[in-house]
Chains A and B, each alone.
Chain A
Amino acid sequence: MYRTDVYRFTLALAGDVRDAEDLFQETWLRAVKAEPARPEAGGREAKAWLFAIAANAQKDLLRKRRVRRLFLRERTRAISGGTADADPGWDTPGHAGRDEAVRSDVRICLRRAVARLPGRERSIFVLKDIEGFRHEEIGRMLGIPEPTVRTLLHRAVRRLRRELAEFGPGAERQTILEEGRP
């Protein structure tokens, strides 16, 4: 029922098709095992429940990779930065007009920037900006206080702004902005 939603969420979270597919499967496996805990009401609550499972699965995946990299010196893709150039699985640039090409560039840059966000900030940003959940709901889903959600979202947006500096209206003032940061 929510397979498209879950897939979209895992794609945005993982930043690469292969990882997103693994995460998609892991999410449904965990959901089946945790079925007794599924909220009675369907709709938004059920979706939030599934997304919370996906976010936890992603956290575990990142943790496992970190440990593997630490102990085995695995020379594979980096935890977050390395996924930026992999196949994102979403929004491949089309061949439309020039404006669309520029917008595609923005989106590619945005996608890379989202993939580079640290795990928790990425989850919060995706849940807020792509899935449209409220701060309070995100806090409940990830088991963190609402003020922390706001702080991390703020941090994520600031990071994204830096990545998108060449496209945004604040581009020419970026240096001043960086210098003015506490």
Chain B
Amino acid sequence: MTRSLRCREVERLTLESEDRALSETERSLANAHLGGCRRCRDFAADRTLIRRELAAVRWPTPSDDLVFRTRRLIRGCRPEAATAGLPAWIIVALAVVSVVTAVGLTIGLADVTPDMTLADLPVGALAAVITIAQNALTLFFAPVVLRTFRARRRMSEDAR
């Protein structure tokens, strides 16, 4: 004995038929119902209309600006971003410069006594003083230079 389906069940079968193949029984029951029910035929037709119109929609792509802003946000929230260190080559260069400067200062300042004025300083000692002043300036401006370097690198990554 076959039972007949209610409209609600046929509507659900219409939707399910988009997702899976209906069994032979389900299909014949639904077809039998659809043959005599305009309401369910309309449901199926409306369903086709909705799907057809959605398929015809032209979807935009995200703007470059949005992608750029999102990348910047992501970079800021990455755990490694907060602890990102200096590039290795900068650390090595700083170490070399520090050692050379220490040796140079030791040699240059060996003959300097507290009672000497700037005019009395020998050439080596004068070079050492200039080096000290230069290092102080470098330390003062290093954060600015590093920030610029990182910003440029970020921009070149974004461009890629």
A residues adjacent to B (C-beta < 8 A): 3-4, 7-8, 11, 21, 24-25, 28-29, 32-33, 89-91, 103, 106-107, 110, 128-130, 134-135, 150, 153-154, 157-158, 160-161, 164, 167-170, 173, 176-177, 180, 182
Q: Is the interface of A mostly helix, strand, loop or mixed?
A: helix
B66 & A21 in contact (Cβ 8 Å cutoff): yes
Other-chain residue from A32, A110, A157, A160 in contact with B74 (beta carbon distance below 8 A): A32
| Chain A positions within 8 Å of B53 at CB level | 103, 106-107, 110
A173 and B49 form a contact (CB under 8 A):
no
Task: Report Cα–Cα, A106/B57, bound state, in Å.
Answer: 11
Interface size range of chain B in the complex:
35 or more
Are A164 and B50 in contact, CB atoms less than 8 angstroms apart? yes
Question: Across the interface, do A168 and B57 meet the contact criterion of CB distance under 8 Å?
Answer: no
5 A-B pairs closest in CB distance: A170-B42, A7-B62, A168-B46, A169-B45, A8-B59
Determine if A90 and B50 form an interchain contact, defined as CB atoms under 8 angstroms apart.
Answer: no
User: B82 near A: Cβ within 8 Å?
Assistant: no
User: 1/0 per position for B45-73, CB-CB distance to A under 8 A?
Assistant: 11101110110111111100011011001
- Cβ of A150 and Cβ of B12 under 8 Å apart? yes
Query: Is the CB–CB distance between B70 and A28 below 8 Å?
Result: yes
- Are B15 and A169 in touch, CB under 8 angstroms? no
In the complex the two chains form, is B46's CB within 8 Å of A154's CB? Answer: no
